[in-house]
Amino acid sequence: MKVEQSSIDQNWRKSISEEFKKLELDLIVYLTIFLSFKISRGFYQRRIAFTGSSDFIFYDKVTNEAFNIFINWPQSFYDFLNYFKKIPKNNQLLTGLKRDFGRFHFEINKLSLIPGFRFFTEEYKNYIRYIWDGGSGPKILDANLNSKYISAYQASKLLGTKSINFSTLINEGTLEGRIVLRPSKNLILIDISSLENYKKQRDLSPKSNRNQVE
């Protein structure tokens, strides 16, 4: 199956651009500093200080890496999380979300209290729910963050068929959703409200939608 990734990337870039336009400057700065500190301590085991010229060069480096998280949103954010969870934590006896993300997980929950950061925290929720392989973590998170997406498998069950090509529907704009590229098999996420509208239209005129079925 061939995925028309260019149109999907354009939609993501438009989406993240719109989210940043909604943020006040101080919130953009705060989010950038938050991620810069995580990159500095997690990836380089180094505190950010400004005692010499090398510190300014280092801070410029981690700030650029923080901005890069939003370049190919949300795939770049998922890549960041994949790398972050592999970093050895201080307490090796921890399990689940505490083992993989430590304080980062609880700090994300605090960020979710700020409406402007919801786009960021919801993508973290999507990652935990659909991509993270840590067992029961998603059940812990469901009480704190809301998700508007369901998997292709869940969407198929709601539609009562396994033969719908969701990638085609997303690329054509019939459905709103996301296709997350993964080494083994791409992850397809479908917007729930969009799926409900599609189902209503399909039920009203089932014959007109047969061409969407593989």
- Residue 130: CB atoms within 10 A of its CB come to 18
Cα gap 9→179, rounded to integer Å? 10
User: Per residue in 89-143, pLDDT tens?
Assistant: 666 656 778 788 888 988 998 998 998 898 899 889 888 887 887 644 333 333 3
Q: Mean pLDDT for the chain?
A: 77
Is the model more confident about 129 or about 65?
65
Where does the chain have alpha helices with state H?
A: 5-22, 25-44, 53-68, 75-84, 96-101, 103-111, 118-130, 137-141, 152-159, 166-172, 192-204
User: Per residue in 27-60, pLDDT tens?
Assistant: 999 999 999 999 998 888 888 776 777 788 888 9
Least confident of 5-14, 121-130, 189-198: 5-14
Is the model more confident about 55 or about 14?
55
| Domain range summary for the chain, segments of one domain joined by + | 5-145, 150-212
> Is the per-residue pLDDT at 3 higher than 80?
no
> For residues 144-175, b (16+ Cβ closer than 10 Å) or e, as one string?
ebebebbebeebbeebeeeebebbbbbbeebb
pLDDT for the residue numbered 150: 78
For residues 13-37, give the mean pLDDT: 83
| The two structure tokens encoding residue 148 | 């508007």
Least confident of 1-10, 66-75, 77-86, 107-116: 1-10
| The two structure tokens encoding residue 76 | 């770049």
Cβ distance 189 to 78 under 8 Å? no
| The two structure tokens encoding residue 77 | 């954010």
Amino acid at 124: Y
User: Per residue in 128-183, pLDDT tens?
Assistant: 887 887 644 333 333 333 457 777 877 888 888 777 888 888 888 888 887 776 65
